[in-house]
Structure 1
Amino acid sequence: MNTTTTIKTGVKKGSTIALGYIPIAITFGLLAKSTGIPAGITILMSALVFAGASQFVAVNLLQLHTGAWEIVLTTFIVNLRHLLMSASLSAKIKNKIPQSWIPLLSFGITDETFSFLSLTDKEKLSTGYILGINTIAYFAWVGGTALGVYLGQGLPAIIKNSMGIALYAMFIGLLIPSIKKSNSVALVSLTAVGISALLNWGPSFLQQISRGWKIIIVTILASAIGAYLFPEVGETIE
């Protein structure tokens, strides 16, 4: 198939991902708007960052008046998984994708597109196919964000303020299915909850740590414990 055909095929296959992105992107736009972030900055964040989890975290930290370096470091840690996803995917597309396209295709990799591409037969992967999937997902996310931002201007204040719960609902929605499939994920999640509880309700000197640094500490410690307890990839899926 030529490039145009493979792009169309990728767009068609990626439409299911796009449909899932739109409501979450709208929620992000509403949440960012409710915290006072300018519309242009919110849309630009989705256009340049294109990482839902870290964007929600960043907005929440901004709402808590967290320092800039804490936000940068936290989002960096949250997005570290993209290095592993890109490395894993590169093994499937090695010698099939021109080097000049790698940066653009890498930018479009998300949790959902990575999962989809990882389950796709290696023979079907091509520059156009991956580009089509990434493109439809990207425009759904950016467009949904813009829709949320401008919808937010006409919503009552009580609804806009209530959008703060969206962050927690999103993470719970992502976490519960993984916990059901993996005991290791459940154990690491409980470990993270325990560390977080210790930092928030433990000795007074721990309670004085800022919210941003608490998130960083919990992420690093829980990940390190998980890597130590479950060093083999096969043990993470049961």
Structure 2
Amino acid sequence: MNTTFSQGVKAGTSIAIGYFPVALTFGLLAKTTGLSIFEATAMSLLVYAGASQYMALSLIATGVAPWLIVMNTFIVNIRHFLMTASLSENVAPAPKWMKAIYAFGITDESFSVLSTQKGGKITAVFTFGVTLIAYSSWVIFTAVGHVIGANLPQFLQQAMSVALYAMFIGLLVPSMKGNRKVVLLAVIGAGIHCVLYYSNLLSTGWSILVATLGSAIIVEILYVKTNKTVENWTAEKEADQ
């Protein structure tokens, strides 16, 4: 069973390598969006959530109010509450302050690594090892990406804004493959946002917020009703037999 800090660092090295290109791109795009190296690095230090940080960049670029950016980021990251709650059952008992620290370092990737460990409960120090190496990689390569962006010609910096949308597509498409629920979420969310935004009913920040919540609620209602219909049909078929 993995128990030591060094074993945690070793297990998290693959995450750190995977974060290298994504964090580098984030730092570069943060520069082209107008963030200073301090602001970009501080975002990675304090937020540490890839998809939310990319979303925040697009909202910053369109001049959305800061509190709306915070709200959108919070909603996108709600899943982290569930991940840390689930993970706490697999980690050996530790002081609450220690759990709070390593919980901050939980991402989709680190959760996947930690939740698949075999041989009983994992220790807090092992968890620290996994999260620290991944966190360090994200923060360091954000700063490196910003420095690279600062040295690009001005026309390339302006052109890189297009890469932000390409990154979103790159994050979304793999999740949509073979998953109807994700497809429905994306399509319904996009539809709600377009209606609200292009009809001038809501600003960009509000339309994204409403579209995110609205699509999640609609899809869950559809799936609950579908499951109930299937269950009723199965029950009636068994009763007829």
TM over 0.5, shorter chain:
yes
Aligned CA RMSD, in angstroms, stands at 2.2
- One-letter amino acid matched to 1:100: W
**1:57-80 Cα deviation digits (max 9, x unpaired):** 222111111112211211111111
> Is 1:227 the counterpart of 2:225 in the alignment?
no
Runs of 4+ in 1 over 4 A off after TM superposition: none
- One-letter amino acid matched to 2:56: A
2:112 to 103, 115, 119: 115
- How far off its partner does 1:150 sit? 0.9
The aligned counterpart of 1:133 is 130
Matches within 5 A, 1:206-225: 207-225=200-218
Matches within 5 A, 1:165-184: 165-184=162-181
What residue ranges of structure 2 are gaps of 5+ in the alignment?
228-241
- Aligned to 1:13, what secondary structure does the other structure show? helix
> Is 1:144 the counterpart of 2:137 in the alignment?
no
The aligned counterpart of 1:38 is 36
- One-letter amino acid matched to 2:7: T
Do the aligned partners of 2:11 and 2:113 also contact (CA within 8 Å) in 1? no
Q: Report the Cα distance in structure 2 between the residues aligned to 1:166 and 1:102, rounded to whole angstroms.
A: 36
TM-score (norm 2): 0.85
Q: Which 10-residue stretch deviates more, 120-129 or 151-160?
A: 120-129
Matches within 5 A, 1:1-238: 6-93=4-91, 95-121=92-118, 123=120, 125-201=122-198, 204=199, 207-231=200-224
What residue ranges of structure 1 are gaps of 5+ in the alignment?
none
Q: Report the Cα distance in structure 1 between the residues aligned to 2:9 and 2:146, rounded to whole angstroms.
A: 25
- How far off its partner does 1:197 sit? 2.6
Q: Which 10-residue stretch deviates more, 73-82 or 179-188?
A: 179-188
**1:10-47 Cα deviation digits (max 9, x unpaired):** 11111111111111111111111112211111111111
The aligned counterpart of 2:233 is none
Q: Report the Cα distance in structure 1 between the residues aligned to 2:207 and 2:194, rounded to whole angstroms.
A: 10
The aligned counterpart of 2:230 is none
Q: CA, structure 1 residues 228+116, in 2 after alignment: closer, same or farther (shift >3 Å)?
A: farther
**Greater Cα radius of gyration, structure 1 or 2:** 2
Q: CA, structure 1 residues 167+122, in 2 after alignment: closer, same or farther (shift >3 Å)?
A: farther
Q: Report the Cα distance in structure 2 between the residues aligned to 1:163 and 1:208, rounded to whole angstroms.
A: 30
- One-letter amino acid matched to 1:222: S
| Percentage of pairs with the same residue | 45
- One-letter amino acid matched to 2:5: I
- How far off its partner does 1:2 sit? 9.2
TM-score (norm 1): 0.86
